[in-house]
Amino acid sequence: MRRGISILTAAGLAMTLAACGGGSSDDSTSGAAEETTTASETGASGSLTIWVDDNREVAVTDAAKAYEDATGTTVDVVVKDFANIRADFSAQVPTGEGPDITVGAHDWLGGFVKDGLVAPIEFGDALADFNTVSTDAFTYDGQVYGLPYAIENVAVIRNTALADSTPATFDEMLAKGKAAGTKYPFLIQVGDEGDAYTMYAFQTSFGAPVFVQNDDGSYSSELGLGGENGNNFAQWLQDQATAGVLDTNITYDVAVDAFSKGESPYIVGGPWMISAFTDAGIDVAVDPIPSAGGETASPFVGVQGFYVNANSQNQLTATDFLVNYLGTEDSQVALYEAGDRVPALNAAADAVSDDPIVAGFAAAAENAVPMPSIPEMDSVWSFWGVTEANIINGTATDAPAAWTEMVSNIQAELDK
């Protein structure tokens, strides 16, 4: 069962992203103090180390400076490549190293909790100030393990000078893209290792979700990407590659550069791309992803946030900083401005709701599904994108057979 969610309307969806735990937001605050005790109230000082990526550096540094001034706590903001943060955090925390706080994605949660790497965060009354979807994304067994700051999904980003709309089907969009007379009728990043995340909406339009969802929206461990529907998607990948539409030479950088130069009317991407396009003078609109397989195209929706190291000696201070400084409207708007992602804090989301880009991604998320945060998801990635790339680059000449083999390999990993 697929359950769509609206980024800006979370009512009734408390279970949708609580993929690992089955706890509601009320459950996650059980035992929490009615008011969050702050480090400044207890006279705590000392130091905090925070890992961030370069996009989040300025916003986090500003909040850190304010916290230093208010509490006397030294806050060291360390910039790391986001692609390396999860692995480095997982390797260092068990040894007593690593930061007190790290930025991260909600779908890391299952593995982090399973390995004992992160500590629950007590929000107190502040939990109600956040979009329910965002806090449930960081909920595991009734406890909240992350301070959310942004909700994100991919959509079709359209060059308004080259196309006046995005049709409801992929074939119609492609025809419209060809009529634009640009170098590329349509762009989507693939690369040598594939990009199953960005491609996922097209896969779901064939009725092949990665895992089967329960009636409450949480994910089971049953694979859903195999069978006839999955094979049909694999064949579609091969057909589009043969037609020159999909190409592993189109990496993220190539796709963004080409669209920035006006070489395509359409690109599938997220809010993190927008500044590159507007800086290049491209007027863009954001539209839902069209269906390629006849069913609804459902991209992943993800939540970005901050985790607290389970072995940190400064958990009280870390919680104080997250809830009372990064959890403020000013900080969450600043984080939004750094990456154009919809803020998780309701007040901050309201403050930027007039932005047509925000509205466009929200509309595209109406049919989105949560990125699974169950531990089983870790067994999928190493096979999934590479298989797509091998189909697209011609290494796998029998696309359905390659897809079936991929599903078997993933199932073997799950059965270990």
Q: Which of 178, 365, 209, 372 is nearest to 289 (CA)?
A: 365
Total domain count, the chain:
2
Per the DSSP assignment, residues forming a β-bridge with 305 are: 104, 148
Q: 46 in a domain, yes or no?
A: yes
Asked if 274 and 397 sit in the same domain, the reply is: yes
Shared-domain flag, residues 324 and 291: no
Segment 51-75, tens digit of pLDDT = 999 999 999 999 999 999 999 999 9
Instruction: Note whether residue 364 is domain-resident.
Output: no
Instruction: Please check whether residues 246 and 327 belong to one and the same domain.
Output: no
* CA atoms in the 13 A half-sphere facing the CB of 32: 23
Does some domain include residue 12? no
pTM listed for this prediction:
0.76
- Does any domain span residue 110? yes
CA distance 197 to 209: 12
DSSP codes, 369-412: EEPP-SGGGGGTHHHHHHHHHHHHHTSSSSHHHHHHHHHHHHHH
Q: What is the pLDDT along the chain (416 residues), one digit of tens a residue?
A: 333 333 344 333 333 444 444 333 333 333 333 344 444 444 445 899 999 999 999 999 999 999 999 999 999 999 999 999 999 999 999 999 999 999 999 999 999 999 999 999 999 999 999 988 888 889 888 899 999 999 999 999 999 999 999 999 999 999 999 999 999 999 999 999 999 999 999 999 999 999 998 887 778 999 999 999 999 999 999 999 999 999 999 999 999 999 999 999 999 999 989 999 999 999 999 999 999 999 999 999 899 999 999 999 999 999 999 999 999 999 999 999 887 788 999 999 999 988 899 889 988 888 888 888 888 998 999 999 999 999 999 999 999 999 999 999 999 999 99
CATH number, domain containing residue 307? 3.40.190.10
Distance of CA 109 to the CA centre of its chain: 12
In a domain, 280, yes or no: yes
- Look up the domain containing 161 and give its range: 153-300+373-414
Residues 45 and 175 in one domain: no
- Same domain for 138 and 159? no
- DSSP-derived secondary structure letter, 339: H
Are 166 and 224 in the same domain?
yes
Judge if 193 and 120 occupy the same domain: no
Looking at the domain assignment, is residue 47 inside a domain?
yes
Q: Residue 88 domain-assigned?
A: yes
1 is a domain residue: no
- Residues 292, 397: one domain? yes
Residues 341 and 386 in one domain: no
